[in-house]
Amino acid sequence: MTVSIIRFGGSNCDRDAERALEHLGIDAEIVWHEDGLPEETSGIVLPGGFSYGDYLRAGAMAARSPIMADVREAAAAGTPVLGVCNGAQIGCESGLTEGAFTTNESARFQCEHVYLRVERDDTPWTAAYDEGDVIEIPIAHGEGRYEIDDERLAELEDEDRVLFRYCDENGDTGPDVNPNGSKHNIAGVLGDRETVAVLMPHPERVTLPDVGPTDGQGVLRGFEAAENGA
């Protein structure tokens, strides 16, 4: 099993993702987007960064690059896909997940540790946690405010496709603990299949024990869990 980490021009969390996955014993390689998706790909990371300088909208250009057709096809066939930060923006722009990540309510770039409440524990990305668990993960984005119209938001919540919400250390959500103004404090959502997920916070930055907390490991272990049919 090899996880392909797609590097676009301007990706900058690709190497972090590779090191974090390797630390967990998950084979991973960085793939330049123009080279296409390798056949042996068993999982896909859309990494963080500033692909194409965030021109037009964050993720808009990368979402329309040819490799994304392969990524959508693989996702539809059940290959696990995880989009982090700019990768989450690319995921929404490409239609892998619903909604859009746009300018923070503060209109500022925000780089800070936040708490997330795990909304489901029956997906590969959250199998390592229990529902209601609170995990600490950093954000680093200027365009992380989750937007979606109210009707589709209701559908998303009815279908139980919200994976993480911003919360306080006790797991309570609300406007006071919403770092970017996201609708209903949404930090991460699932696509059509539970094997497809995007989130703005960076699990790969809290995976290596020598740089601090390791709450993000469970998210990355989703690639193993998906393989094992969790």
Residue 141 in contact with another protein, rule: CB under 8 A: no
CB of 76 to another protein, least distance (A): 20
Q: Which of 64, 113, 184, 193 binds another protein (CB under 8 A)?
A: 64
Count of residues touching another protein (by CB under 8 A): 20
Residue 192 in contact with another protein, rule: CB under 8 A: no
Q: Which of 83, 99, 216, 218 binds another protein (CB under 8 A)?
A: 99
Which one of 13, 18, 85, 224 is the catalytic residue? 85
| Closer Cβ to another protein, 136 or 147, answer by number | 147
Q: What angle do CA 93, 88, 78 make, to 5 degrees?
A: 90
CA distances from residue 13 to 17, 48, 61, 123 in whole angstroms, order as listed: 6, 5, 18, 24
| Closer Cβ to another protein, 18 or 98, answer by number | 98
Q: Which of 24, 30, 76, 100 binds another protein (CB under 8 A)?
A: 100
Q: Which of 34, 38, 106, 174 binds another protein (CB under 8 A)?
A: 106
Are 173 and 166 a contacting pair, CB within 8 Å? yes
Phi-psi region of 25 (alpha: psi -120 to 50; beta: other; left: phi over 0): left
Token pair in block for residue 98 = 């619903």
Q: Which of 107, 112, 175, 210 binds another protein (CB under 8 A)?
A: 107
Residue carrying structure tokens 């989750």: 146
Residue 69 in contact with another protein, rule: CB under 8 A: no
Q: Distance between CA atoms of 74 and 86, rounded to whole angstroms?
A: 20
User: Which residues, at least 6 apart from 136, have a Cβ–Cβ distance to it below 8 Å?
Assistant: 113, 114, 115, 116, 206, 213, 215
Q: Establish whether 202 is a catalytic residue.
A: yes
Token pair in block for residue 162 = 């919200």
Beta bridge partners of 4: 29, 44
| Closer Cβ to another protein, 77 or 107, answer by number | 107
Residue 93 in contact with another protein, rule: CB under 8 A: yes
- Using the contact rule CB under 8 A, the part of the chain among 56-64, 164-172, 194-202, 203-211 near another protein is 56-64
Count CB-CB contacts under 10 A for residue 143: 20
Question: Which parts of this chain interact with another protein (CB under 8 A)?
Answer: 56-57, 60, 64, 92-93, 98-100, 102-107, 145, 147-149, 181
